[in-house]
Amino acid sequence: MQSRLRVQGHPIQPMLVTFPLGLFVSATVFDLTDVIGGPAFLGEVGYWTGVAALFAAAMTVIAGMVDLWDVPVDRTRRTAIAFNLVNTAMAGLFLVTCLVRAHSPQRGATVAILLTELVALAAGGVGVRLGARLMRQFDTGRRTEAGSLDALAGSTVEVARPRP
Cα distances from 19 to residues 13, 23, 47, 53, in angstroms, run: 10, 6, 16, 7
pTM: 0.74
User: Residue 81 and residue 76: Cα distance in Å, rounded?
Assistant: 9
Which pLDDT belongs to residue 81? 85
Over residues 129-134, mean pLDDT: 83
Residue 157 pLDDT > 50: no
C-beta of residue 134 within 8 angstroms of C-beta of residue 79: yes
Lowest mean pLDDT among 117-126, 129-138, 154-163: 154-163
Confidence of residue 5 (pLDDT cuts 50, 70, 90): low
Give me the residue spans of the domains in the chain: 11-137
Contact 128, 122 (CB under 8 A): no
With CA atoms as reference, report the closest residue to 29 among 20, 17, 38, 16. Answer: 38
Query: Kind and range of the H or E element at 2?
Result: none
Average pLDDT for the chain: 80
Question: For residues 19 and 114, what is the distance between their CA atoms, to the nearest angstrom?
Answer: 20
Best-predicted range by mean pLDDT (7-16, 32-41, 137-146): 32-41
| pLDDT tens-digit map of 61-119 | 888 888 777 777 788 788 888 888 898 899 999 999 999 998 887 788 889 999 999 99
What pLDDT score does 141 carry?
45
* H/E segment holding residue 10: strand 10-11
- Which amino acid type is present at position 20? P
Spatial CB neighbours of 6, under 8 Å, sequence gap ≥ 6: 12
